[in-house]
Amino acid sequence: MASIIWFALTGLLVIAELMLGSLYLLALALGTLAAGLVAYWEYDLSWQLVTAFGLSALAAWIVWLNRRSNQAAPEAMDDPDVGQSVVLVSLNPLLVHYRGADWQAEWHINPPAQAQSGTEYLIIAKHANRLVIGTHLSHSS
């Protein structure tokens, strides 16, 4: 009888998952399915609960890790400014000329020893409204 309750709960969770689209409900459904199998094999309620909570927690943790790694993708890859060239205007403060205006900038790693005004660099990334520059291109005259 207990296995039927677990399997019914699994079915309800799967239906809710299909309606809401949350993978966490699928993780809970996996735990209740396993608990239903444990109940079918006639183990105690304590084993059923440990199986349901343990497997649900493990599956939910895996879903959380997967979503966190997908959110950690850098947004700069979609930024059209990354990879464009800029011209160094001044070193202190570090300003570059880009798209018709002077922008605050910061060096990607360390400032090159031969950095001087008029030199072209590539935009590596953006931090808020600052351009991160690096990779010396040429000296324009």
**Every domain of the chain and the residues it spans:** 2-71, 77-139
- The answer as to CATH 3.30.10.20 being correct for domain 77-139 is no
Percent of the residues in the chain that have a pLDDT greater than 90, as a whole number: 65
| Tokens of residue 85, six digits | 């060239």
For 5-60, what is each residue's pLDDT tens digit?
Answer: 999 999 999 999 999 988 999 999 999 999 999 999 999 999 999 999 999 999 99
The whole-number pLDDT of residue 50 equals: 97
Question: In whole angstroms, what is the distance from residue 113 CA to residue 34 CA?
Answer: 64
pTM: 0.53
Which long-range contacts does 20-26 make (Cβ < 8 Å, 24+ apart)?
Answer: 23/63, 23/67, 24/60, 24/63, 26/59, 26/63
For 75-87, what is each residue's pLDDT tens digit?
Answer: 546 788 888 999 9
The whole-number pLDDT of residue 74 equals: 54
Average pLDDT over residues 90-110: 91
The whole-number pLDDT of residue 139 equals: 57
* SS3 readout for 98-121: ECCEEEEEEECCCCCCCCCCCEEE
